[in-house]
Amino acid sequence: MNLPPAPLPPSSTSETHVDVAATGTTPGTGSVPEHGHPLSFDQVQRLCSVLTESVTLTPKDPGSNFPVLQISPAAIVKVVRQRLIRKGITIRDIRMNGSAASYCLCERHTDSSLPELKFNDVDLIFGVSIDEWCRERDFHIIKEEVLTSLLDFFPEESSKARISGHLLEETYARKMVLVMTPKIEWSLFSLGDETGMRSIELKFVNKIQRQFEFTVDSFQICLDEYFTYGRCTEDSPVAISAEFFPTVHAISVYPDYEEAMKHLNERLIHTQNPEEIRGGGLLKYCTLLVNGFKPAESSQMEKLEPYMCSRFFIDFPADFQQYYKIRRCVTTRFLSVRELGKCQEFLQILFMVVSSQARCLMESERQKTMSVIVHISFEVGQPFPPPMAMFSSYPIHPPPCVPLRVQTSSYHHHGNGRSNYPRNRRHFTPPFESSSHQHHPHHHHNHSSYHRAPWSTVKRAPTAQVR
């Protein structure tokens, strides 16, 4: 039998900032949406396997004395939730989204012509209620509690007394982002190993606008009922079965759930207003094409591709920014799982889209970006065939501090959204910035010397808009 939904908490008088129309969630009623769709037993099984599978957290410095941690998403959610409640942070709900949620919800096909759905990251969203006057303080509390929660997973014999949150940040945090604008307030923590094969991403959202890139990643699974079931059966564990499993709901932040589910099951690409997406969704669009997805309407995607390119170049105008963004995407999505063939295909598709649809750029600027893509193909050992390879003749001076492994970044605010690049440019040589600066083959930089902005230097600026 299905367990009934978890009891709803009493209505809250605090303001709920998440877009109610988009999420289908009633303010102050927890995470059970008005029009949520219950998961089947097969979907709940997949959800349980995703939440209970351990993810390896390795120290950035292999020679350090810090241990390698094995943490499941369910375990870290439980610890972080308890810590934040003790600190007075109001948690509205907890959800899973992204490729992991799509993996749990999609139908299992016997048709071999459809590509198998995979996921790299387990994306978990904590909906938090934070007042305007104390948002910096509360986001700082969230940061400290997330980092220090890792101590709960250290071996019992470890000495933890002198380990600070800053030290844990330098050791385990792969990516940390804070965004605070008048309409957007969220922070992100990425924890995983150096290969990027599997990671846990914790996102704490007070206000947010665009919550999806394409319909296939617009799903959110409400986890409060799942964890309520876990707490109820903690003393006397009960194995789930087709006759007895928790009732868990899913929603789509795309307006039409059934249409989004059809796109997911048939591996179709569809989106709305790509100019609202950070980076335009350009790299995600090319990734979907590489993974066997097809446009739901070819004519519509041809019209939207120029908007994707425009937003990508608005958010990443400089050559070194484009380099870091594309290189990180290639490393995490393809090189970390040794998919070199798909890596080359991805770069070729991106090259063709930019060359044909980047109408917002002058010819010289477009060719410069095409040179960035070609250079990355040579750098990762997957060079382009002629005639695309001719763009490799453009003078390029790559930064020596970019290894094949996933880069880290600091927890700081960027006015136009997230930023994955080192802020202090004195510590590295950006590519394409100056033809007079020649790269010396023996010139190395310390990867740990990236600047980390102190909390007091957080700045605010309006979000970029497509012109």
- Tokens linked to 90: 């109001």
By C-alpha distance, which of 58, 176, 143 is closest to 423?
A: 176
The pLDDT value recorded for residue 455 is 35
Report the run of H or E that residue 178 belongs to, with start and end. Answer: strand 173-180
Give the separation between CA 254 and CA 139, rounded to whole angstroms: 28
Mean pLDDT by 10 residues, the chain (467 residues): 42 34 37 72 94 92 88 95 95 95 86 80 94 90 95 89 90 91 92 81 92 93 90 71 90 93 93 86 93 88 88 90 91 79 90 87 84 87 63 47 40 47 35 37 33 35 39
By C-alpha distance, which of 447, 405, 342 is closest to 195?
A: 405
- The pairing of beta strand 90-97 with beta strand 412-413: unpaired
Report the run of H or E that residue 260 belongs to, with start and end. Answer: helix 257-265
Report the run of H or E that residue 144 belongs to, with start and end. Answer: helix 135-148
CB atoms within 10 A of CB 119: 15
- Tokens linked to 51: 């939440």
The pLDDT value recorded for residue 64 is 85
CB atoms within 10 A of CB 147: 24
The pLDDT value recorded for residue 124 is 97
CB neighbour class for 154 (10 Å; exposed up to 12, middle 13-18, buried from 19) = middle
The pLDDT value recorded for residue 56 is 92
Contact between 273 and 213 (Cβ < 8 Å): no
3-state secondary structure of 417: coil
Contact between 51 and 73 (Cβ < 8 Å): yes
The pLDDT value recorded for residue 409 is 43
Give the separation between CA 357 and CA 374, rounded to whole angstroms: 17
Give the separation between CA 456 and CA 467, rounded to whole angstroms: 32
Give the separation between CA 13 and CA 148, rounded to whole angstroms: 31
Residue for token pair 């990251």: 121
Give the separation between CA 303 and CA 39, rounded to whole angstroms: 35
The pLDDT value recorded for residue 36 is 82
The pLDDT value recorded for residue 427 is 34
DSSP letter string, 357-373: H-TTS-HHHHHHHHHHH
Give the separation between CA 135 and CA 123, rounded to whole angstroms: 23
- Tokens linked to 367: 């060719």
* pTM above threshold 0.75: yes
Write the pLDDT tens digit of every residue in 36-76: 899 999 999 999 999 999 999 999 888 888 999 999 999 99
The pLDDT value recorded for residue 118 is 85
The backbone torsions φ and ψ at residue 275, rounded to the nearest 5 degrees and listed phi first, read: -65, -15
The pLDDT value recorded for residue 451 is 32
Give the separation between CA 259 and CA 255, rounded to whole angstroms: 9
CB atoms within 10 A of CB 58: 17
